[in-house]
Amino acid sequence: MSVTMSSTKTRAALRVSARVSGELLLVLVMTAVALWLLGRMWSVVWPLVVGLLLTTLTWPLTRLLRRRGWPPALAASTVTVLFLLVAGGAVALIAVPVASQSGELADGVVEGIQRLREWASGPPLNIGDDQITGAFDSATARVQDSVGSMVTTVVTGVSTVVNGVVTAVLAVFLMFFMLKDGPRFLPWLARQLPGRLATDVPTVAARGWDTLGEFVRSQAYVGLLDAVLIGLGLWIVGVPLVLPLAVLTFVSAFVPIVGALFAGFVAVLIALVSNGLTDALIVLAIIVVVQQLEGNVFQPMIQSRGLGLHAAVVLLAVTLGGSLAGIVGSLLAVPAAALIAVVWNYVREQLVEPGEEPEVQTSPSPVGTPS
């Protein structure tokens, strides 16, 4: 009798395991299909994502103007123009000082190359001028042999720049329309959905909007912290162009990994050609220390506190996003993980207390009630 009962329990357990495995397999297949569709529509989805992130950054000022009685179109137009002016001013703040000191920087580069040749010609390398000239001629021959691939690379780079410009223009237009008409979205969405979905989906969307706002603000805090610390270090060392480099560091903070590497490379290069090798190594050490503190301490702490995610989850999300989709995956990994957490928390609330009505979003936002 005990053997029969054990066999019955075994078959029941296997049936449950098979059912759960089938359901998990179905979820994985549907996730793969959704990701495939997302990739096919990426040319439209990416400007929409960028526009949404820009909207979270500019919405507080728009909300303030609308509360003071400004018409939605006028408030959205004013904020959009101010955003473009600030973005253009940041570019000018970087480009103008660099252009004004381009002659000094060019002289510094030439002097740095000459010092490098003198150092290479002495012990322990003892590389003569004829060897350096031969290496230069060999490099020139390789460049000439690979002209075709270089042209292809240049064309690809130009195409990437054009796509980036188109994405930026579309994102700015979408930001304007979100600032202008965003508060009408959730009421419209609630009217389109049947039954319980008319309450659940708008509530989750409102919470997701708040989460995206926290993400953008946390990135701004981290970028400001990087800019202040690195700018202070450059000022102490005596590196020129401190303010443009600080602005570049702040802007680059919104692009994970590559942004920090690019800003750090520019700072070290300017220190090398202007102050010499010793100061360049000091600047490199400052940047490495600040970037390590930012990546392993400040950013996980700030984002985990603002997004409701543990610091370890933030680190794992960035690592996974970068391995799956490169720079874009690193940029979107944290907000994607936070949105998944928002959905999961809401579902858990409904499962634990099914009779409780969801909390209604009261504060005005581009995806909330009209202001």
> What distance in Å separates the CA atoms of residue 49 and residue 254, rounded to the nearest whole number?
14
> What distance in Å separates the CA atoms of residue 341 and residue 208, rounded to the nearest whole number?
9
**Residue 358: pLDDT over 50:** no
Whether 32 is in a domain gets the answer: no
* Spatial contact of 330 and 322, defined as CB atoms under 8 Å apart: yes
Over residues 34-48, mean pLDDT? 80
**Residue 370: pLDDT over 50:** no
> What distance in Å separates the CA atoms of residue 249 and residue 247, rounded to the nearest whole number?
5
| pLDDT tens, position by position, 77-99 | 999 999 999 888 877 777 777 66
> What distance in Å separates the CA atoms of residue 226 and residue 164, rounded to the nearest whole number?
25
Whether 322 is in a domain gets the answer: yes
Tell whether 68 and 197 lie within a shared domain: no
Tell whether 202 and 345 lie within a shared domain: yes
**HEC assignment per residue over 236-266:** HHCCCCHHHHHHHHHHHCCCCCHHHHHHHHH
Query: Tokens for 84?
Result: 């473009």
Over residues 184-202, mean pLDDT? 81
The structural domain count of the chain equals: 2
Whether 273 is in a domain gets the answer: yes
| pLDDT tens, position by position, 113-159 | 666 666 666 666 666 666 666 665 565 555 455 545 444 544 444 55
**N-to-C CA span, the chain:** 71
Over residues 206-216, mean pLDDT? 82
The Cα diameter of the chain in Å comes to: 95
DSSP-based three-state secondary structure for 195: coil
> What distance in Å separates the CA atoms of residue 215 and residue 335, rounded to the nearest whole number?
6
Tell whether 220 and 313 lie within a shared domain: yes
Cis peptide before 370 (omega within 30 of 0): no
Residue that the structure tokens 């443009």 belong to? 244
* Spatial contact of 154 and 147, defined as CB atoms under 8 Å apart: no
Q: What is the pLDDT of residue 80?
A: 93
* Spatial contact of 186 and 205, defined as CB atoms under 8 Å apart: yes
* Spatial contact of 206 and 361, defined as CB atoms under 8 Å apart: yes
Of 202-216, 288-302, 303-317, where does mean pLDDT reach its minimum? 303-317
Instruction: Tell me the average pLDDT of the chain.
Output: 75
Whether 223 is in a domain gets the answer: yes
**Residue 215: pLDDT over 60:** yes
Over residues 24-40, mean pLDDT? 84
Q: What is the pLDDT of residue 241?
A: 78
Q: What is the pLDDT of residue 371?
A: 45
Question: CB neighbours (10 Å) of residue 39?
Answer: 10
Q: What is the pLDDT of residue 162?
A: 67
> What distance in Å separates the CA atoms of residue 234 and residue 240, rounded to the nearest whole number?
8
Q: Provide the domain limits for residue 49.
A: 41-136+158-182
* Spatial contact of 240 and 270, defined as CB atoms under 8 Å apart: yes
Tell whether 214 and 313 lie within a shared domain: yes
Whether 370 is in a domain gets the answer: no
Whether 143 is in a domain gets the answer: no
Over residues 205-217, mean pLDDT? 82
Tell whether 164 and 223 lie within a shared domain: no
Closest CA to 358 of 218, 159, 202: 202
Over residues 283-297, mean pLDDT? 81
- CA-derived radius of gyration, the chain: 27
> What distance in Å separates the CA atoms of residue 304 and residue 300, rounded to the nearest whole number?
6
Tell whether 178 and 210 lie within a shared domain: no
Most confident by average pLDDT, 208-212, 283-287, 327-331: 283-287
Tell whether 203 and 164 lie within a shared domain: no
Tell whether 217 and 171 lie within a shared domain: no
Tell whether 208 and 169 lie within a shared domain: no
Tell whether 272 and 335 lie within a shared domain: yes
* Spatial contact of 278 and 267, defined as CB atoms under 8 Å apart: no
Tell whether 345 and 198 lie within a shared domain: yes
Q: What is the pLDDT of residue 74?
A: 92
Predicted TM-score (pTM) of the model is 0.63
Question: CB neighbours (10 Å) of residue 130?
Answer: 8
Whether 23 is in a domain gets the answer: no
Tell whether 114 and 243 lie within a shared domain: no
Whether 129 is in a domain gets the answer: yes
* Spatial contact of 33 and 341, defined as CB atoms under 8 Å apart: no
**Residue 217: pLDDT over 50:** yes
What band does 275 get if pLDDT is binned at 50, 70 and 90?
confident
> What distance in Å separates the CA atoms of residue 62 and residue 79, rounded to the nearest whole number?
6
Over residues 196-219, mean pLDDT? 82
Residue that the structure tokens 């390398």 belong to? 125
